Structure 1
């Protein structure tokens, strides 16, 4: 719906694309501490308050008469959502045996991908009439989630979680890897929308339908990806996702066929699940103390990468459409040997636990 936003508020498409950053930057920045704070306040209560706040600020976005107010509302949506994502993941990890963690995270990823699948389509269809209906729908969904039941909180630990508990080496390196992956892969729907608009002159509804390929592929393969991560290990899943994702992203910028673009974007959805499930399993499978803060930090860096994507690649795409996709593809390929090896040297797998026990 970015072209329609630009038309409503009388701003350029590049300025409209900053609405993604306006949401994702505070979302990611607050998430650096939201997991730890939520564990202190009580995860269930924190999640409910966050959803209730989301209802209000999504309604402001739907009614905003000025672009600056729309941007402010997007930032507040990011702040509210920062207190849901990491705490929901922590709850999943607390009730799941470690040997099934990959499959459980795969199921979570499938449901999350279903949201990614439906959102572009619903947003594009809403933009056929008015993009404001999309934000009205978001407010209604958040109201329902506020009333949904949640598992009870665990007993409070003897020592309150500290912010520095989350900043272990494996967490930092995992966060850096997923920062690159989300900037160069999952953060590119806006660029794919520009590409199919420029190359194939698709309307907003058709653009939204194309973008659903990413989320649909992630939804269809997430459980399989989770089982593969349990069987073959997180390292294999992450490295495969990075390298295959590099090929898929690069192809979008150079192929001249709409079906091939859709296939490449769908392959990107599969690759994103390989990376996400592998990294989340690595972090959540570690120490229980400070686990909420750890996954919060990794998720924050993940969405910081997504928020950086429009600023990093929009100008490059406008200069040369092929380079707009080949550069992020090259960064994905380069991150596999540079970061993945370091993460698993400091990881929590069997070898790492053996070294710790000997120490």
Structure 2
């Protein structure tokens, strides 16, 4: 990036015309550099755009600041005075993103105008020469400008992060961080002996007398490098998407997407394999692996290890959930399976709805605490696993792949996919709307989202009765209607109670749909209940995995109307259930296991 501003080159106002790696040859993409530090937002965008496998590996030590300044003669005295006026930034760098975040606290988004000038010296010179009325600057240019009478309208500090290429191994990165920590200690003690590095960026013709004592101490902040926590990534990534600063292609570290895709793919086969290997031993092994994976997530020193541990968590779940559905169906007799399946669905809804509350509160203290509750729950289950009798199969027949090819299971998979496409759409978009419309923070959003899980628990008794008396198809139709109403309330409600009521309705509806699809699945293949349950659950999680990719662009393009379009999905589900007629029948009660029979070997 050339330092001087060329007055013959007009500025750009479309960030898509500028590469996130800059307008000149990128040392990182060309392989000349393997690691570099920059602003948090830009690094997320670069890890998305990279062609050499670059990934964000941690937070940097330097805590930067950017200020929006105006010339001494400017009539602007506060950020509101910049409505509709161009502010010079460097697209896909800290000045770009911080200017947007700083100004949107004072102005509607449509009145914020940022334009690409280039690096900090170019922006200062464009401001000095009257090309732009305001510019976002960082040190040393904030101090240079203030010395010459320029006025700060707003200033903020921001997080930086580090992006590394795949050849940077853990040992190398750890060694670099040890050196950085030593440097941080020296800078925290006294940064002034090192400010000649900043001063050297300013040409003498702009300020020949710049000296270390000109810099205020409070603006020079340095902290130890640290991992980049998931909750912070999610918040930043969602904000970037809301400004269309990153493509909507599912390239997200959001656990809802990254962890569900391998989970869903593995579930295509996990249920049948587990039925063949033995439910008890598979459940015990999967629970132990989940505890190990959760501990690795909390202790992971690098992003690569963290993502690997998250994938392992998903893999362990693929071998537990379908077996639990199958075991419930084999264990209980008479009218009890409908009630048991509805309570199991309620427990799933509770976990989905309450996890943001526990994780949000824990992560507010330390990102590693987000894994405390699931880790403790997993450890408890390892110490007190299901009994041998609870995991026995009702049949001695070998679990067959062929038995899974039937219309009833296909119906269960279709409804399951649609249910989660809508339900996860609600959980993703409700978070954005609660923040955008009602300015709720992480704890407030977590409390509102917890209504989803609470409603799921409360819906278990009526769902069980409905499933027992009217069957899974009718239960699915009723809960699809409830989901439509809930989605419209959450999407279009003008008051917080109405939105929360919508979340409650959807939470209750999800319990009904889970119960209905599980009942359809396990009764479709009695000799391979685990395999049938895992196929239906795989469809469910595939629906959840694509939900963010499907609905976020719609929401950002159409706002509340885009959110409301999610209600089309349960309508489609109801149409599928209606057109299938008697498929699935009225019975949700599979034949119970004869507990007096000799148990099959190896189970």
Would you call these one fold, judging by a TM-score over 0.5?
A: yes
* Correspondence 1:90 to 2:318: no
Distance 1:159 1:247, change over 3 A: same
How far the C-alpha of 1:3 sits from its partner, in A, is 5.2
What displacement does 1:68 show?
4.2
Larger helix share, 1 or 2: 1
Q: CA shift at 1:159, angstroms?
A: 3.5
Using the alignment, how far apart are the partners of 1:121 and 1:169 within structure 2?
39
Match of 2:499 among 244, 247, 261: 261
Q: Is the 8 A contact 1:285 1:348 kept in 2?
A: no
Give the Cα separation in 2 of the matches to 1:342 and 1:174. Answer: 13
Question: In 2 relative to 1, CA 9–313 (structure 1 residues): closer, same or farther, beyond 3 Å?
Answer: closer
For 2:290, the equivalent position in structure 1 comes to 54
Distance 1:139 1:293, change over 3 A: same
Question: Equivalents in 2 of 1:112, 1:126: separation in Å?
Answer: 21
Q: 1:321 to 1:72 in 2, by over 3 A?
A: farther
For residue 27 of structure 1, report the CA deviation from its aligned partner: 1.1
Alignment pair present for 1:247 and 2:485: yes
SS in 2 for 1:112: helix
Match of 1:353 in 2: none
Shift of 1:322: 1.3
Residue 134 of structure 1 is matched in structure 2 by: 370
Describe the shift of the 1:11–1:193 C-alpha distance in structure 2 as closer, same or farther (beyond 3 A). Answer: closer
Structure 2, unmatched stretches of 5+, are 1-228, 242-247, 588-603
**Residue number in structure 2 paired with 1:354:** none
Contact 1:33 1:296 survives alignment (8 Å): yes
Q: Describe how 1:119-158 pairs up with structure 2 within 5 A.
A: 119-152=355-388, 153-154=391-392, 157-158=395-396
Q: 1:52 to 1:304 in 2, by over 3 A?
A: same
1:340 to 577, 587, 591: 577
Partner residue of 2:342 out of 88, 96, 106: 106
User: Is the 2:339–2:464 Cα contact (8 Å) retained in structure 1?
Assistant: yes
The Cα shift of 1:53 comes to 0.9
CA deviation string 1:182-214 (max 9, x = no partner): 111245312211111111111111110000111
> Is 1:173 aligned to residue 411 of structure 2?
yes
Question: Measured at CA, do residues 323 and 3 of structure 1 come closer, stay the same or move farther in structure 2, by a change above 3 Å?
Answer: farther
**Per-residue deviation at 1:283?**
2.3
Unpaired segments of 5 or more residues in structure 1?
A: 351-359
TM-score by length of 1: 0.89
Matched, 1:276 2:514: yes
In 2 relative to 1, CA 10–323 (structure 1 residues): closer, same or farther, beyond 3 Å?
closer
Residues in 2 aligned to 1:9 and 1:232: alpha-carbon distance in whole angstroms: 44
- 1:11: how far off? 9.9
1:128 offset after TM fit, Å?
Answer: 1.7
Q: How does 1:1-359 map to 2 (within 5 A)?
A: 4-6=232-234, 16=252, 18-152=254-388, 153-154=391-392, 157-337=395-575, 339-349=576-586
Q: What is the CA distance between 1:93 and its match in structure 2?
A: 0.6
Determine if contact 2:470/2:586 at 8 Å carries over to the other structure: no
How has the CA–CA distance of structure 1 residues 261 and 149 changed in structure 2, closer, same or farther, with 3 Å as cutoff? same
Change (3 A) 1:180 1:9: closer
Contact 1:29–1:300 (CA under 8 A) maintained in structure 2: yes
Normalised TM-score (structure 2): 0.54
CA contact (8 A) 1:179 1:304 kept: yes
Structure 1 Cα separation of the partners of residues 349 and 315 of structure 2: 21
TM-fit CA distance, 1:268: 0.6
Query: Residues of 1 paired with 2:437 and 2:370: CA distance?
Result: 26
The Cα offsets for residues 98-121 of structure 1, whole Å up to 9 and x where unpaired, read as 422211112222333332343121
| Corresponding residue of 2:110 | none
**Per the alignment, in what secondary structure is the counterpart of residue 449 of structure 2?**
helix
**Once the two structures are superposed, what CA deviation does each residue of 1:251-296 show, in whole Å capped at 9, x if it has no partner?**
2121221111101100111111121112222222344211111111
User: Is 29-38 or 130-139 further displaced after alignment?
Assistant: 130-139
User: Equivalents in 2 of 1:296, 1:96: separation in Å?
Assistant: 19
Partners of 2:477 and 2:237 lie apart in 1 by 42
Coordinate RMSD, CA, aligned: 2.4
Q: Please say which structure displays the higher CA radius of gyration.
A: 2
Q: Which has the higher strand share?
A: 2
Asked whether the equivalents of residues 127 and 205 of structure 1 are also in contact (C-alpha less than 8 Å), the reply is no
**Paired residues of 2:298 and 2:371 also in contact (CA < 8 A):** yes
1:309 and 1:60 map into 2 onto residues whose CA distance is: 27
- Deviation string 1:140-182 (CA, Å, 9 cap, x unpaired) is 3212211223132436854421223223221112101110111
Q: Confirm or deny: 8 A CA contact 2:483 2:567 kept in the other structure.
A: yes
